[in-house]
Structure 1
């Protein structure tokens, strides 16, 4: 049953460029499908989460992470009576703007772009779906609905303060009401992201040998899940034991969000998606107790995984690669691919050119960035090239 505060596709605010509606798919289904078929979505398969993609086939990439987030988000959305198609569209698009090499790459590019209007992966995702995807005859971008664009821009909450230029420029022409919360569907996508990455980062860290089952069993939530598995399946094979415990961690987090959000929605009684936007607080949330436990897990992951010596070595390499490529292309834009040359010719000043270079580097996969650096900076005449942007 659809809740009164769910986003109704029949009442969508529409697309920036009007289109005839599909006879078979809702507007949000079309948004989801366009995202899945986009070039930026395909490139996520070779963009890292924490580890550089070539370090192992079993570590999560941005693509597998986005699929996991969408699955969790659909589950929560369905349980709350929300629009699952809109939730899924936002979930699948939420990481489109990430640079190669995850947050390490973003931090470096943001520092380099500080004189030119800044860089933020959420703003870059909006830039991709409204401008940089150029496949359709009638418009640049994917021409997504207002509701999906809103969700991409502010699924983490209202956006204020100095805005990255990518977000400020678009919002000046197509108001996404950045000062309000998003609809409940995008809020679900945000918490599904938290659930997915906390769970799979534990799994990837174990696979990488950065910590042990016994160490994470000392964490809140995780310890209880291991204890339940040991009670139900004594002497279970260690790999199965780990999987059973971590899938229960997933279940605990998802169940908590559903219960906590139902209680919040029953208390606030929003009668429409517009009321959800203007309540001043999110309606999709963890319980206070689970939020406290989640912070303990995050502190553990920050110390033992995100700042582990192995990962810090990767961060130093990433900083060098991005820091070398950005000024190289800025000073020698003729090395950009042919299809970028017309944009280079139209760049009015160095700021405009820097933004083009930022778009190009942000779109690179991990391995293409490494190959480009080897060829252009290190002088390798024939690095293996398998993909590009």
Structure 2
């Protein structure tokens, strides 16, 4: 799928129920929905815990498009991490290892659906057709992100943990009040958050409100096993997806390293929401391969063998194995994707380095639409302070 495509071709079709066998994880793994094994073996369809059958029906070109998305996004993310290490970004939250969860769910969104991200959904942002340089302006301290949430149906990044789930719930309630649910063309909302955010009051309040008001929302939890440095067992005594039942709506766990299963589960949940069937919680069971952010050192709280075990479940490697086994792609294709990803990352680097530093006083420009005496006074105080320095050009 080409960059910026929002799933209007075959990928825009509804996930088709078929008869099929259920799929759970391997010995020691949790039961989850999986359509593509770590070895690249395709499973035709899967029966979910509620009896829903999940499958996908993609063309060869669309399978190749998913692989392209995954590779390009990983390369752009790696470039951003390198830029931070070289002092060009203040901080960066990497998505390494979570590409399938983001591409699968991002491509499952229909054009009219609204997404509310955290600060790590660079892959979803890419799938919504937003220039990948936009979040780097935020982390460089040049701007607040820069994209139009209404144009791209993708809200601004949210730094406060879990706050976006309440924003998303309110937006979803508004969709219902506006009469924009109940049909195939209805709207739905997806809210992204991590496993650690499930301990936040905002997230639990969002569950209450969305359930009581039957809001058309999908809560998409990327369970990457660690909330900064806290392992999952310090967050919950039960699987995260089971928490939703206490609030009165269904939950399901999907293999978050499987882009096909993530797409199928997310598309079905969004379609249920747009048809007025209320919220769903999806737990995308995945793994953060790198640090929580570039200020974090994961070697202090997890062991190398754990990382190696998850590397065997790499989301990109399994799609490549599938493409090779099915003879859908050849070496020329893979080399071409690698080169495309390299060029996009080089372009990203050049554009970041060319970003102009903002003038300090522009900090106050857009605080209030019609100005504020308090803000004006703060601006004057900062201006006076800057004028006290010789050669000031604020």
What is the TM-score when the length of structure 1 is the normalising length? 0.30
What is the TM-score when the length of structure 2 is the normalising length? 0.29
Q: Which has the higher strand share?
A: 2
